[in-house]
Amino acid sequence: MNRYADQVAVITGAGRGIGRAIALRLAAEGARVAVISRTAVNAQIVAEELTKQYSQQALPYSVDVADGDAVANLCSKIVKDFGTISVLVNNAGITRDRLSMRMSGEDWDRVLDTNLKGAFHFVQHLQRHMMRNSYGRIVNISSVSGLLGQAGQVNYSASKAGLIGLTKALAREVSGRNVTVNAVAPGFIQTDMTQNLPESVKADVLKLIPLERFGDCEDVAAAVAFIASPEAKYITGQVIKVDGGMAM
């Protein structure tokens, strides 16, 4: 398939894990990709991988998504470098897990500023370009934790639930300009974030998943590839769960 021919996708948190898988999938379907990571070397590695594997234009960028001024400057550069923006995938996210009674204000702020406010920064600066072009796809990567809640993750769960609210409100704001906004909510996906969980925790989690396995990054990338494509033109304001049935 070549669903993303002549399209440019901006993907945050694309230096590894789910973000990297999304970048690979969209590039495989013809997209040129702005690879964004807080770590410059990760962005560079993935951009080179896309260019080598798919012969698509891919450029690396490094930014702290929580820094509004830095994001504003970066978005201007991306538009200048690529000339157009078709797709925005807000995937950048962090965790600082701790029970609420022991959680510091810094841990709360850092997670909310990265996971939720970071998405807002990119939305605010790139939606104008999409609306002028009367075409755009915005996909926010939420989480099953934002739907069900997770003990020890009040900051993370709140940030991911906030992304769902942002998705629905923004979908109503931009729908008249042929811009759709949706969220994808992964469950337990095999990434660096879940790899280090104790085996006892993994066993307990598997009991909650009807499909009885963790998902792969490619499972999430496949959902994003559909919901951000021209085929999904009549879908907006929705939350697509990729969780093996955990939150059905």
156 has catalytic annotation? yes
The single residue of 54, 61, 135, 156 carrying the catalytic annotation is 156
The CA distance from 128 to 141, in Å, is 21
Longest CA–CA separation in the chain, Å: 51
Two tokens at 246? 């955990």
Long-range contacts of 66-75 (CB under 8 A, 24+ apart): 66/110, 66/113, 66/114, 66/117, 66/118, 66/121, 67/121, 68/117, 68/121, 71/118, 71/121, 71/122, 71/125, 72/121, 72/125, 74/36, 75/122, 75/125, 75/126
Catalytic center residues: 156
